[in-house]
Amino acid sequence: MTTDGRPNGHAGAGGRTTKPLHNPLGLLAELTHRCPLGCPYCSNPLEMDRREDELDTATWARVFREAAGLGVLHVHLSGGEPASRRDLVDIMAAAREAGLYTNLITSGVGVTEKRLNELAGAGLDHVQISIQDSEPKSADRIAGYEGAYARKRALAAAVVALKLPLTANIVIHRANIARVDELVAMALDMGASRVEIAHVQYYGWALKNRAALMPTREQVEEAVGRIEPLRKQHHGRIVIDAVVPDYYARFPKPCVGGWGRRSLNVTPAGRVLPCHAAESIPGLEFWSVKDHSLREIWEQNPAFNAFRGTDFLPEPCQSCERRDIDFGGCRCQAFALTGDARATDPVCHLSPQHHVVEEQAAIREDAEYVYRRL
């Protein structure tokens, strides 16, 4: 019943780098940037990969074998909408064959019941469906797609009928943050065994729409305060995972568990990144799986070594007791808000530039969303 994660025959680490090198655990496979939805907080970059540049099935299969050889355990098949790829079932099966745990991250729009059955039959392990709100009209408005809510609910029902474990992923922001209780109730009603309540992270499209998405401090405190009571109320029925709202946090998040430390991301065209927003930092050259093995990239690409470890961090991080807990926060956020990717993430209240975060959080306008479109 078990499959082997075979090492792919590359030589060992060789001890060439002076940076601490860990095995990656998770791979985010952005199979395509095509997506029927237009969510204004999409994690895809503003400049997206085109269909004609997308990796083919065989290359993804090789990437998965190399990933397993590097120690990757979970693969997240994402996008865009991964079902926009006609070869999704073959891609999933290749990941499974490489020994990886396969998580399909879908908008729920575009996965037909027939395709879901094929995926389940080929060994798909887990499904994650994004859902924009518990009120259908609001959900469709946020997604920029009429009828999206109903289609998501229908797919969720089909997933549960197949006894596949389901996570509901719910991004919260000013338009839906008052409904945390209703959102969790909806996830239960969908039959999800896990729900992610994730405050918007302001990169890419979300950064562009920040003023339209940003909640007030009071709204955030109310929403955060609901999580523990809801966990108690629904204990044993659903797992509630919460992603914290950075702009109102005291300390920064240890973004992706540290740069080049625990996870990696492959774009539709094959560039390998430490995280999905990494290309927003100028001056870094990201290598492609078309030219290099995943191991070469993980160990030798200068972009992966640029912020590995904590040596690059300035004060107050260097002498901070949390230095090895949060690694100074997120490099992309440091760059986006201070212009310096090496700076302390200004989300931290100890950052000399923390005022920037407070100033930006105070800007809230009920403007039309700029929908994410390819």
Partner 1 sequence: MNTPAAAPSILPDARPRLPRGVRLVHNEAQGGWVLLAPERVFKADQIAAEVVKRCTGEASFEAIVDDLAATFGAPRERVEADVAALLRGLADKKLLEL
The least CB distance from residue 370 to partner 1, in Å, is 30
Give the length of the chain.
Answer: 374
283 backbone φψ class: left, alpha, beta (φ>0; ψ -120 to 50) = left
Shortest distance (Å) from residue 100 CB to partner 1: 8
**Cβ proximity to partner 1, 255 vs 361, nearer residue:** 255
What does the alpha-carbon distance between residue 92 and residue 89 come to, in Å, rounded to a whole number? 5
Which amino acid, one-letter code, is at 361? A
The strand ranges marked E within 217-318 are: 239-243, 263-266, 272-273
- Report CA 207 to chain centroid distance, whole Å: 15
Instruction: Name residue 128's beta-bridge partners.
Output: 105, 167
Single residue of 78, 167, 344, 351 touching partner 1 by CB under 8 A: 167
The nearest distance, CB 291 to partner 1, in angstroms, is 22
How many chain residues touch partner 1 (CB under 8 A)?
A: 28
Interface region with partner 1, contact rule CB under 8 A, candidates 29-37, 57-65, 66-74, 320-328: 66-74
Report how far residue 337's alpha carbon sits from residue 332's, in angstroms, rounded to the nearest whole number.
Answer: 9
Neighbours of 8 (CB within 10 A): 16
Dihedral sign computed on CA atoms, order 351, 355, 356, 360:
positive
Assess 62 for contact with partner 1 (CB under 8 A): no
Using the rule CB under 8 A, is 74 a contact of partner 1?
A: yes
Q: Pick one of 69, 204, 309, 346: the residue that binds partner 1 (CB under 8 A).
A: 69
Q: CA-based diameter of the chain, in Å?
A: 56
DSSP code for 54: P
Q: Which two tokens stand for residue 212?
A: 């339209």
By CB under 8 A, the residues from 176 to 195 that bind partner 1 are 193-194
Does residue 117 belong to the site contacting partner 1 (CB under 8 A)?
A: no
Return the residue of 38, 45, 79, 99 that touches partner 1, per CB under 8 A: 99
Q: Which is nearer to partner 1, 23 or 233 (CB)?
A: 23
Three-class secondary structure of residue 69 per DSSP: helix
**Binding of residue 297 to partner 1 (CB under 8 A):** no
Return the residues of window 194-223 that contact partner 1 according to CB under 8 A: 194
Radius of gyration from C-alpha coordinates of the chain:
20
- What's the min distance (Å) between Cβ of 26 and partner 1? 9
| Cα 203 from Cα 179, distance rounded (Å) | 24
Segment lying near partner 1 (by CB under 8 A), choices 69-77, 107-115, 182-190, 281-289: 69-77
The phi and psi torsions of 271 (rounded to 5 degrees) equal -75, 140
From 150-158, 162-170, 327-335, 339-347, give the range in contact with partner 1 by CB under 8 A. 162-170
Judged by CB under 8 A, does residue 356 bind partner 1? no
Q: Which stretch binds partner 1 (CB under 8 A): 123-131, 208-216, 340-348, 355-363?
A: 123-131
**Which residues inside 223-262 make contact with partner 1, applying CB under 8 A?**
241
Q: Which residues bind partner 1 (CB under 8 A)?
A: 1-7, 23, 25, 68-71, 73-74, 99, 101, 103, 125-126, 128, 163-165, 167, 193-194, 241
